[in-house]
Structure 1
Amino acid sequence: MTPIALLGVPNDENSSYLRGPADAPAAIRRELFSDAYAQCSESGVDLSVPGRWIDNGDVAFEAGLDPWLAIETAVARALEPGHPLISLGGDHAVTHPILRAVRRRHPRLTIVHVDAHPDLYDAYQGNPRSHASPFARIMEEGLADRLIQVGLRATSAEHRAQFRRFGVETVSAAQWTGELRLKIDTPVYLSLDLDALDPAYAPGVSHREPGGVTPRQVIGLIQGLGAPLVAADVVEYNPRCDIGNATALVAAKLVKEIAGMMAGGTREAAHLAA
């Protein structure tokens, strides 16, 4: 049995508009482990088996300690036993220190980044750690061999220049019209910003961007990666903006499907589930 490690990253100090994503880990866990929902992934994995989840709690942020060092250290500790890790954010800025730790364990790595926004500004509003800038830092530091961004629908001239600078591969929301099968020959880090989803499905985000993708499209992408999924984050859930807890439920569903694939689930099992 493959255990799945969980780690909460309750940090939103680099959010540019609203605070609230720091409250996400507890809210997602509540839905993830609720008796109201099935604990089997569509890919055929029973997530209720004792020992399946190893919950490492939340990163502790202490006064006087750089939050980035706290995150990197906690992620490295969670990864030490060799289990795949799902981090629950937090705003998207936290992906940068998470990947510092992940990269040390995976010399070959592709990032699949699902988002409405590229998050490639050099320093949004003068902040190089902004949640609108993590992938600029990640690519500058060589923390991945490839960056594939999908679901985009809010790009600027600066973003397009950064695409060229870093060799980013992109699939816009408009281009994502059918089954999306990416050709990847390395381990994968999945970074899932919930504002990639249309606000009809996930209103609980700080930056709602209409015209987004569906949970079914994202689940299909997860199930069709075709490469080892070694770590992931689910970020930018803002409980203060949610309606009827809808986004927390979607986040928990996506965490289950990520975990199912990490634990050996198959796309074929998902297609046979009906």
Structure 2
Amino acid sequence: MSRLSLLGIPNDDNSSYLKGSAEAPPLIRRELHSDAYSIWSETGVDLGAAGTLLDHGDLRFDGGEDPWDTIEREVGRALASGAPLICLGGDHAITHPILRAVRRRHSRLTIVHVDAHADIYDAYEGNRRSHASPFARIMEEGLADRLIQLGLRTINDHHRAQFERFGVEVIPASEWGAQLRLRIDTPIYLSIDMDGIDPAHAPGVSHREPGGPSVRQVIDLIQHLDQPIVAADIVEYNPRCDISNLTAVVAAKLLKEVGGMMLKAARD
């Protein structure tokens, strides 16, 4: 039987503007399991079938250990079953220690990153672990072979220098067409920042940036990835900024579609 792992990482220590994304994982789960919606993916996978979803719960940070060590260790434990893993953040800084664990299991890896922001500052406000900096750390450490960033709409000159330094492939929101298809020949790590989606669809984020892709465009991207998604994160949902749980519903929908593609690949 194919299985899917789920892990909550409620950490927003490195958020630069508003806290609150650490509160997200249980609220996304609530919408995932709500009787108001189907738990089937559009690709025909029942995530609610017995034994399909292995939920590892939420990490606890006790202050006695570096949170990055906790995340890396517990993600490694979740991956040990061999099942693909979806992590629920938390802010985007957590992607760095997650990928330390994922990379150990995958010698070839492409990151597909959906976001309004590049999150590739060398440091932001003096913090090299900032949620605005994880992809600088990831590429410095060689945790992926390719980084493809989609939906960006806040690019500055420092970002451009970092893109050149690390060989980042960028598809800004203005170039995200209806028939966007990526050519990838390695396993995929998918990182979805909820502010990558236009705030008209997902207002519950700390950094709203109009002009982004629709939920439908992001789902279409997910469903047309032709290599296996071995791990993923959904980050930066801030319940304190949400309206009528709309963004939690969108996050749960994306979880179902990512999970559906993971399980479909495992069964094929």
Give the aligned residue type for 1:188: I
Q: CA deviation at 1:265?
A: 6.3
- What is the rounded CA distance, in whole Å, between the counterparts of 1:131 and 1:63 in structure 2? 19
Same amino acid, percent of matched pairs: 68
- Secondary structure of the equivalent of 1:264? helix
Query: Whole-Å Cα distance in 2 between the matches of residues 178 and 24 of structure 1?
Result: 30
Instruction: State the match for 1:199 in structure 2.
Output: 199
Letter in 2 for 1:2: S
RMSD, matched Cα: 0.9
2:58 & 2:39 partners in 1: Cα distance?
22
Report the 3-state secondary structure (helix = DSSP H, G, I; strand = E; otherwise coil) of the residue aligned with 2:151. Answer: strand
**Partner of 2:60 in structure 1?**
60
Q: By how many angstroms is 1:2 displaced?
A: 1.4
Match of 1:222 in 2: 222
Asked if the contact 2:72/2:98 (under 8 Å) is kept, the reply is yes
Contact 1:179 1:217 in 2 (8 A): no
* Runs of 4+ with >3 A deviation: none
1:39 deviation in Å? Answer: 1.4
* SS of 2:112 mapped into structure 1: strand
> Which residue identity is paired with 1:150?
L
Shift of 1:64: 2.0
- In structure 1, C-alpha distance between the alignment counterparts of 2:99 and 2:179, rounded to whole Å: 28
Per-residue Cα deviation, 1:161-217 (whole angstroms, up to 9, x for no partner): 000000000000000021211000000000000001111000000000000110000
Instruction: State how far apart, in whole Å, the 2-side matches of 1:240 and 1:90 are.
Output: 13
Q: Which amino acid is 1:233 matched to?
A: D
User: What secondary structure is seen at the aligned counterpart in 2 of 1:170?
Assistant: strand
Structure 1 counterpart of 2:186: 186
Q: Which residue of 2 aligns with 1:35?
A: 35
Q: Match for residue 128 of structure 1?
A: 128
Greater CA drift, 70-79 or 55-64: 55-64
Q: TM-score, normalised to structure 2's length?
A: 0.98
Query: Which amino acid letter does the alignment assign opposite residue 205 of structure 1?
Result: V
Gaps of 5+ in 2: none
Partner of 2:2: 2
Would you say the 8 A contact 1:191–1:233 is kept in 2? yes
On the 8 A contact 2:14/2:129 being kept in 1, the answer is: yes
* Superposed CA offset, 1:74-105 (max 9, x none): 10000001000000000000000000000000
Q: Is the 8 A contact 1:44 1:265 kept in 2?
A: no
> How many residues are treated as equivalent by the alignment?
266
Amino acid at match of 1:223: Q
Asked if the contact 1:116/1:212 (under 8 Å) is kept, the reply is yes
Query: What SS does the aligned partner of 2:259 have?
Result: helix
CA contact (8 A) 2:89 2:237 kept: yes
User: d(CA) in 2 for partners of 1:78 and 1:47?
Assistant: 18
CA distance in 2, matches of 1:2, 1:221: 23
**1:241 matches 2:225:** no
Match of 2:47 in 1: 47
Preserved CA contact (<8 Å) 1:151 1:171? yes
Contact (CA 8 Å) 2:228, 2:265: kept in 1 or not? no
Judge which range, 31-40 or 184-193, deviates more: 31-40
Secondary structure in 2 matching 1:263? helix
Task: Measure, in 2, the Cα distance between the counterparts of 1:265 and 1:200.
Answer: 32
Q: Map residues 86-235 of structure 1 onto 2, 5 A cutoff.
A: 86-235=86-235
Q: Give, in angstroms, the shift of residue 224 of structure 1.
A: 0.4
2:20 match: 20
CA deviation profile, 1:2-58 (whole Å, cap 9, x unmatched): 111000000001000000000000110000111111111001111121011000011
CA distance in structure 1 between the partners assigned to 2:119 and 2:65 by the alignment:
25
Query: Which moves more between the two structures, 44-53 or 94-103?
Result: 44-53
